[in-house]
Amino acid sequence: MFPGRIEAGVGRSPGGNETIRSLLANGKENEMGIFRQKVQQLHNYVKGNTKIRRLPERKNHPDYMYLD
C-alpha cells in the first residue's frame, strides 16, 4: 500500500477467557505479562539491534506509531 512502510498489528490478547489466553501463552503465566518487553524485542529487531541479521539489510528504518 505505502512504499517503505510496514504495518503490523500486535495485541496483548487474542480475546477469549483466561483458559484460552493461558493455552495461547503455552501455559506460562509469566509470558502473559511481558507484552512491552516483546514489543521492545520486535522494535530492536526491526532497527537491526539484535544478533539476528535481517536480509536485505537496510540503512533506513521505519518510524513507529503506537496505538493504545
Asked whether residue 60 is assigned to any structural domain, the reply reads yes
Which amino acid, one-letter code, is at 35?
F
Give the pLDDT confidence score for residue 51 in this predicted structure. Answer: 85
Domain tally, the chain: 1
Identify the residue whose cell numbers are 506460562: 28
Q: What is the dihedral of CA 19, 24, 28, 29, to 10 degrees?
A: -50
Q: What is the pLDDT of residues 13-32, one digit of tens each?
A: 666 677 776 666 665 666 65
DSSP annotation of 60? S
Asked whether residue 22 is assigned to any structural domain, the reply reads no
- Domain with 56 in it: 34-68
Asked whether residue 68 is assigned to any structural domain, the reply reads yes
pTM, rounded to two decimals: 0.50
Nearest to 22 by CA among 31, 9, 10: 31
Rg of the chain taking only CA atoms, in angstroms: 15
CB 13 within 8 A of CB 21: yes
Give the pLDDT confidence score for residue 26 in this predicted structure. Answer: 64
Asked whether residue 18 is assigned to any structural domain, the reply reads no
